[in-house]
Structure 1
């Protein structure tokens, strides 16, 4: 029977047990990621019914929102990785101390980022090349989301902390609940009230008719409720990290903050630079017209159905590798790295095949506009070929994060996107339009996966992290 406590207890683990534990942790993590993607599908498909302009308004600022979300998420990782190491070393008191300081530090940081977002919200759509038909709605959508960043950051922190101790089920269940709430809130807030006649019975369906604003408010409300529930379970129910009845200081301490900065700063800079490149791609797409802007945004959302399982497996990789690191089990770190990356490539390859086949139905679900559908299907079928190597980069990154090794992988990520994707997209868009942008993306993701696999297989990242030698042996 595979159990994560075997890592902390120093028990020997066969390959079968390691694989089973990887799958056990990956499945709920994948489900959590897929639920977040379903939320994006719900937003996109509901807003898509309102017309091309509203779809383009959301698509114009979506990459900028990823920038703000990614920065806040990266900051929380610097603390959750430390907690994983402490739990792996069976020092729960130290892990709780990390959590207390993480709550304070992450709130301070997220409020600062929110202030920046509020200041730039009125001008951002114009900077991105949007026309007067879509910039007011785009500004409003962006403003609502950045105003809620402190709540979203606490959600990221609570989910990351639960996963770091091996609890994948609670975050997964709450993310599914969030998806259901998002669907309900969006339905009530986006569309106006309307009447249905069922077998002679007239039924009034209430609605606020807020359009794009309703989509933003619906998602934020769902995430706020989820953050509250996640924090409650973390602080009151999770044995290793429960704070109730245990006193301690919430004042940040230099040693923990310094280590969090060491882990998070490369990730934060990486997210900023990568999202900056994605914003640059949006600026390359913007002159191609409203249909291309909307199709690009829809295709990005649709493609996430393929790669989010990879992020779920990457979360599991961070947990398994992080706890193995904390327990001083060097060989187990290496083996979990190989197993999780291999599993991620298999899963995302299958998802890529399914996306290629289902692309027309996916785009029909998201928008009724034929021109947008056609461009989106073409983009998705190009991107499907990159999924196996994209998986390698996603999961290998999670492996490296598990041991606090983030600087070189961050450089690899943003170096790849700036040196390969952007120049190629700029060149190909001029002659091939949106198709050229997605060919550039496919080529860059394949290249990125190759360099991550090379680094993983060389093993140089293992001695650099200073792991203690142990006596792990692979059992039949």
Structure 2
């Protein structure tokens, strides 16, 4: 008779794994591709609606004039930093921690993690709010904003970042739900947000019907109202007990170990969107010297990159609970198979869509501007750069897969390499008085480096704690 529980060793990783369990959880035991796609389709549907927001918002901002379009290009990296850090980075850290707790069978820990995640959302929301309200104008000036372009960018940022806590709360709540494997409700909320933002942002921005025209502040207000509605719905769902976990507020005890479990992934992960935003800000500054038309062209290209990034997110975010549960259950080999499957799907999907637009950029560009100079510059930018968005999709898949595993250092360093490529390459091109097209090519090259290095990082990074195999003794 054995005196200890027999343990199995994952031969590929050299790690301990628990005994086999019955196939009760499809995230842990189901076919990888089928399960991943089942998680991805609600997100894909939702982000299709999010795509409409990106298109509609840029379209009606374009109706406010070329200066408004250029202003949005200035402030857009800051908006994306907030969204990426709260959703993709810290939200992913929340999902990973909760999924790993549930994979280990510890529901109490998962519920406490959810509560601590909400505290994190409030704290970082206040940091972003104060930072942009105090130093936002100086930052936008540093990016090259001048005159009416600067004024409109500041007007938008003051309203949007005045409600930064709402942005953080809506994304962290979605992260909590995704950590339990619930992709449908966060996706439904994205659709709801899309509808509200299109209606409210357009109405308040352009001044439709009896509503006066508020311009850029009106567009930002529409976003904040949409976030508020989504926060109310997701909070009701969680605290009413309809989800797998209920955040614990009564008798709350702050436990630094729980903060650490989220932040060890979330904080490190935040360096990726931070570096990505810094890259975009530096690149925006480099292009500003070529004038408003080139800056507007980059803004239109950045919108496409954002749309495709949301599609990559819809696939990759499904890998977080799948990998987190597998890591928590000690099934490292399965976690890696999930990661590579996710990377291949993202690479193919993003590459196909981006290449199609690169081949025929006219319809996309026509959605945003009638200015002849901006249209020509936009078509040139998309033709040169858009096909390489596929590598950004691959990088996104590797980033989220690493979040699920609880180790994102490698993909973050890959983002560092891209930043260095842009800074060093841009400095050299500026010294050579190179044309704008040379900067476009530099951006494409940096995306290739990002994707390849992210994949290499995942291949070389050890997932899970390394332990010596334990052999059961018999009596």
Alignment TM-score, normalising by the size of structure 2: 0.88
**Contact 1:69–1:149 (CA under 8 A) maintained in structure 2:** no
How far residue 120 of structure 1 moved from its aligned partner, in angstroms, is 0.9
Q: 3-state SS of the aligned residue for 2:210?
A: strand
Q: Which residue of 2 aligns with 1:359?
A: 361
Q: Which residue of 2 aligns with 1:236?
A: 240
Q: 3-state SS of the aligned residue for 2:211?
A: strand
1:379 aligns with 2:399: no
Distance 1:236 1:354 in 2: 45
Distance 1:467 1:296 in 2: 49
**Contact 1:79–1:260 (CA under 8 A) maintained in structure 2:** yes
1:226 aligns with 2:230: yes
Compared with structure 1, are the counterparts of its residues 167 and 378 closer, same or farther at alpha carbon in structure 2 (3 Å cutoff)? same
**Contact 1:141–1:212 (CA under 8 A) maintained in structure 2:** yes
How far residue 4 of structure 1 moved from its aligned partner, in angstroms, is 7.9
How far residue 185 of structure 1 moved from its aligned partner, in angstroms, is 0.4
The 5 A counterparts of 1:389-428 are 389-414=391-416, 416-428=417-429
Distance 2:91 2:255 in 1: 16
Compared with structure 1, are the counterparts of its residues 452 and 155 closer, same or farther at alpha carbon in structure 2 (3 Å cutoff)? same
Q: Which residue of 2 aligns with 1:263?
A: 265
Return the match for 1:208 from 205, 212, 220: 212
Q: 3-state SS of the aligned residue for 2:146?
A: coil
How far residue 373 of structure 1 moved from its aligned partner, in angstroms, is 1.3
The 5 A counterparts of 1:73-472 are 73=87, 74-193=89-208, 205-243=209-247, 248-414=250-416, 416-428=417-429, 431-456=433-458, 458=459, 460-463=460-463, 465-466=465-466
Deviations 1:417-455 (A, max 9, x none): 222123223444665543222211111111111122223
Q: Which moved more, 1:155-164 or 1:101-110?
A: 101-110
How far residue 50 of structure 1 moved from its aligned partner, in angstroms, is 1.6
Distance 1:323 1:454 in 2: 23
**Contact 1:45–1:365 (CA under 8 A) maintained in structure 2:** yes
Q: Which moved more, 1:69-78 or 1:349-358?
A: 69-78
Distance 1:384 1:121 in 2: 30
Compared with structure 1, are the counterparts of its residues 229 and 132 closer, same or farther at alpha carbon in structure 2 (3 Å cutoff)? same
Aligned-CA RMSD value? 2.4
Q: Which moved more, 1:62-71 or 1:311-320?
A: 62-71
Distance 1:175 1:448 in 2: 28
Compared with structure 1, are the counterparts of its residues 259 and 375 closer, same or farther at alpha carbon in structure 2 (3 Å cutoff)? same
How far residue 322 of structure 1 moved from its aligned partner, in angstroms, is 0.9
Q: Which residue of 1 aligns with 2:55?
A: 41
For structure 1, the 5+ residue unaligned runs are 194-204, 471-476
**Contact 1:57–1:135 (CA under 8 A) maintained in structure 2:** yes
Compared with structure 1, are the counterparts of its residues 463 and 128 closer, same or farther at alpha carbon in structure 2 (3 Å cutoff)? closer
Distance 1:391 1:312 in 2: 11
Distance 1:237 1:284 in 2: 51
**How many pairs does the alignment contain?**
447
Distance 2:340 2:469 in 1: 19
Compared with structure 1, are the counterparts of its residues 76 and 21 closer, same or farther at alpha carbon in structure 2 (3 Å cutoff)? closer
How far residue 469 of structure 1 moved from its aligned partner, in angstroms, is 8.1
**Contact 2:26–2:35 (CA under 8 A) maintained in structure 1:** no
How far residue 114 of structure 1 moved from its aligned partner, in angstroms, is 1.2
How far residue 372 of structure 1 moved from its aligned partner, in angstroms, is 1.0
Distance 1:191 1:154 in 2: 28
1:5 aligns with 2:20: no
**Contact 1:428–1:440 (CA under 8 A) maintained in structure 2:** no
Alignment TM-score, normalising by the size of structure 1: 0.88
Compared with structure 1, are the counterparts of its residues 154 and 388 closer, same or farther at alpha carbon in structure 2 (3 Å cutoff)? same
**Contact 1:392–1:449 (CA under 8 A) maintained in structure 2:** yes
Distance 1:468 1:78 in 2: 28
Q: 3-state SS of the aligned residue for 2:41?
A: helix
Distance 1:166 1:468 in 2: 31
Deviations 1:109-165 (A, max 9, x none): 321221111101233322222121211111111111111111110111111111121
Compared with structure 1, are the counterparts of its residues 468 and 92 closer, same or farther at alpha carbon in structure 2 (3 Å cutoff)? farther
Deviations 1:187-228 (A, max 9, x none): 2111234xxxxxxxxxxx333211112111112222222222
How far residue 24 of structure 1 moved from its aligned partner, in angstroms, is 0.5
Q: Which moved more, 1:175-184 or 1:263-272?
A: 263-272
Q: Which moved more, 1:317-326 or 1:423-432?
A: 423-432
Q: 3-state SS of the aligned residue for 1:366?
A: coil
Distance 2:426 2:249 in 1: 54
Deviations 1:162-191 (A, max 9, x none): 112111111111111111111110221112
